Amino acid sequence: MAIERRRLGRTDIEITALGLGCWQFSRGQGLAGLFWPALSDDVIRGIVAAALAGGIGWFDTAEAYGGGASERALAAALTAAGVESGQVVVATKWWPAGRLAGSIKNTIDERLRCLQPFGIDLYQIHFPLSLSSIEAQLDAMADLAAAAKIRGVGVSNFSAAQLRRAQAALQRRGLALASNQVQYSLVDRRVENNGVLAAARELGVTIIAYSPLGQGVLSGKFHDDAAAVAAIHGVRRWRGAFRRRGLERSRPLVDELRQIAVAHGATPSQVALAWLTQFSGDTVVAIPGATRVRHAEESAGALGLRLNEGELRALDERSRPFL
């Protein structure tokens, strides 16, 4: 079966509905590295190879993921898999905290060095935390696009109002904003209520959902296994979602995922990813991460899973407490 491809916003970049999030490749470095175990080169190569074999065609990383460690690990793993520049889509992000817009241009060559031989298809502003205005930041991004150092421009964690400002700033330069990367899953549906999803639809901007499995909650493996909760690495274990009350709150939703999964010969995680990338049409894509090869294999398996209208509605109803 041919794997569906979608346009990234109104750009000419085409992607699969699922990419691979590479936050987990931070190698235990920096703040981002506190959430995941430090993965070996062999494991990272295996994860990337499994994603490619399953049909996933794009990869999302960031400067903040280990100060370039994730970017370097991704580039090495793609090279080891025999992938050449231009054969996959690579997205990364500029870290804005405490920086001016001039940093976007001053640090782009370092981003390209970390990712070599791969170029940057999508360059994103990681958070709306810069000391410069949104307009100044997007103007700097447009300069990079004009210099052919990046193909497309995106943002991340932007509100609806910030999204509109970013789009307007790029339009003045003759460009369209490609995407807004936000936290979105069946256990975190805030973008449906705070105007972000509606603004993205109106503007033709793709929503890239990170933590699309609630950092593992939607797999269901933690609901009946206290040992699995105790084994969670790093600061992630202290999230309320993994405590008894949080798990009981999501249990009815996980039970629904399990029932639908049985009907499709799939897993709860695959059903959760299918819902996320189908419920809003082509507007939403997702970037599940992986710390093991089987996680990447499982996520890629969701590319071929189609839910019917009844299943989409049932999961919508079960997850309404998380709107």
Q: How far is CA 229 from the centre of its chain?
A: 23
* Distance separating alpha carbons of residues 179 and 58, to the nearest angstrom: 14
Q: How many other C-beta atoms can be found within 10 angstroms of the C-beta atom of residue 323?
A: 11
Is the pLDDT at 33 greater than 90? The verdict is: no
Q: What is the pTM of this model?
A: 0.97
The pLDDT tens digits of the residues spanning 45-98 come to 999 999 999 999 999 999 999 999 999 999 999 999 999 999 999 999 999 999
Q: Is residue 69 part of a domain?
A: yes
- Residue 97's domain spans which residues? 5-219+275-307
Q: Which pLDDT score, from 0 to 100, does residue 31 have?
A: 85
Using 50, 70 and 90 to split pLDDT, how confident is the model at 28? confident
75-89 pLDDT, tens digit each: 999 999 999 999 999
Specify if 230 maps to a domain: no
DSSP letter string, 119-166: -EEEEEE-SS--SS-HHHHHHHHHHHHHTTSEEEEEEES--HHHHHHH
In a domain, 245, yes or no: no
- Tally of domains within the chain: 1
Provide the CATH number for the domain around residue 169: 3.20.20.100
Residue 65 annotated as catalytic: yes
Tens of pLDDT, residues 248-262: 999 999 999 999 999
